Amino acid sequence: MALAKLNLLSDEGHFFNETLFGLIANDIEQQGFSIRPNALPETIANSLYQHQQHMHTHQYDNAGIGRGDDFLHNDFVRTDEICWINGDSDAGQAWLNWTAQLKDFLNRRLYLGLFSFESHFAHYAPNDYYKRHYDAFRGEANRVLSIVTYLNPGWLPTDGGELVIYQNDHDRQGTKVVPLFGTLAVFLSEEFPHEVLPATRDRYSIAGWYRVNTSTDNRVDPPR
């Protein structure tokens, strides 16, 4: 077990996938979002899954909306629970290392100016949801790129729980993403309203956001 943990962090270069990262960059450049099945390296995905399955209930917080002083719980909008990833586990650190590689690649290819990254585990109990929303609003220059991956082995289309990415405020059909194990969804945070539909079983995922640096002398970004 100790050797497996060591390899998870020491084989960082092994997980770099220029072909995959290039496909994601092309998708974002052409359509603003990318949906890639089996994109998360299997070793990292399995480690994250095992870690989340062994998390205790008290490690989760009820999710809310807003940031800093504007944060509030609103069960009308969302009912999931979350736990922020800070790298205090090998699984979490491997995830942060991999997303840092993706950040650096996208900055080189698309000149996005991505600076920092934040992410959390999410657990949706049966019938939980997150209603239609944006991850960022135009002009705020905070969250630039959203990323979601799924940790649900054996998920069936009939289980529900899809992420629906809409083209704009008028789109009522959207693009549905089934939360299959290892699937990765990446999209421009300001451009695409989206929602999480209720599922019939427990649904596990990670949601994250790449941000630009908007720190000033009197304010450190991002606040949490």
At residue 63 the predicted structure's pLDDT band, cuts being 50, 70 and 90, is confident
Question: pLDDT digits over 110-135, tens only?
Answer: 999 999 999 999 999 999 999 999 99
By mean pLDDT, which of 53-62, 75-84, 143-152 is the weakest?
A: 75-84
Q: Which of 110, 213, 99, 97 is nearest to 146 (CA)?
A: 99
Question: pLDDT digits over 141-161, tens only?
Answer: 589 999 999 999 999 999 999
- pLDDT > 80? residue 72: no
Give the residue-averaged pLDDT of 95-109: 98
CATH code for the domain in which residue 102 is found: 2.60.120.620
Report pLDDT for 107: 98
> How far apart are alpha carbons 62 and 23 in whole angstroms?
35
Task: Indicate whether 221 belongs to any domain.
Answer: no
Residue 140, both tokens? 């705020």
Cα–Cα distances (Å) from 223 to 37, 71, 211, in that order, read 32, 11, 12
Task: Indicate whether 207 belongs to any domain.
Answer: yes
Q: Which residues pair with 78 in a beta bridge?
A: 130
At residue 137 the predicted structure's pLDDT band, cuts being 50, 70 and 90, is confident
Give the residue-averaged pLDDT of 157-186: 97
The one-letter amino acid at 12: E
Mean pLDDT of the chain: 89
- 212-221: list long-range contacts, CB under 8 Å, 24+ apart: 212/112, 212/113, 212/114, 212/115, 212/141, 212/142, 212/144, 213/113, 213/115, 213/116, 214/141, 214/142, 221/116, 221/142
Higher pLDDT, 213 or 108: 108
Report pLDDT for 142: 83
> How far apart are alpha carbons 177 and 183 in whole angstroms?
9
pTM: 0.88
- pLDDT > 90? residue 210: yes
Task: Indicate whether 8 belongs to any domain.
Answer: no
Task: Indicate whether 163 belongs to any domain.
Answer: yes
Number of domains in the chain: 1
Report pLDDT for 204: 98
> What are the φ and ψ backbone dihedral angles of 192, each rounded to 5 degrees?
-125, 110
Report pLDDT for 206: 98
- pLDDT > 70? residue 224: no
Cα–Cα distances (Å) from 103 to 20, 198, 223, in that order, read 13, 30, 20
Task: Indicate whether 219 belongs to any domain.
Answer: no
Strand order, beta sheet including 61-62 = 33-36, 184-188, 143-150, 203-211, 116-124, 81-84, 61-62
Task: Indicate whether 223 belongs to any domain.
Answer: no
Task: Indicate whether 137 belongs to any domain.
Answer: yes
Range of the domain at 165: 18-211
Task: Indicate whether 185 belongs to any domain.
Answer: yes
At residue 28 the predicted structure's pLDDT band, cuts being 50, 70 and 90, is very high
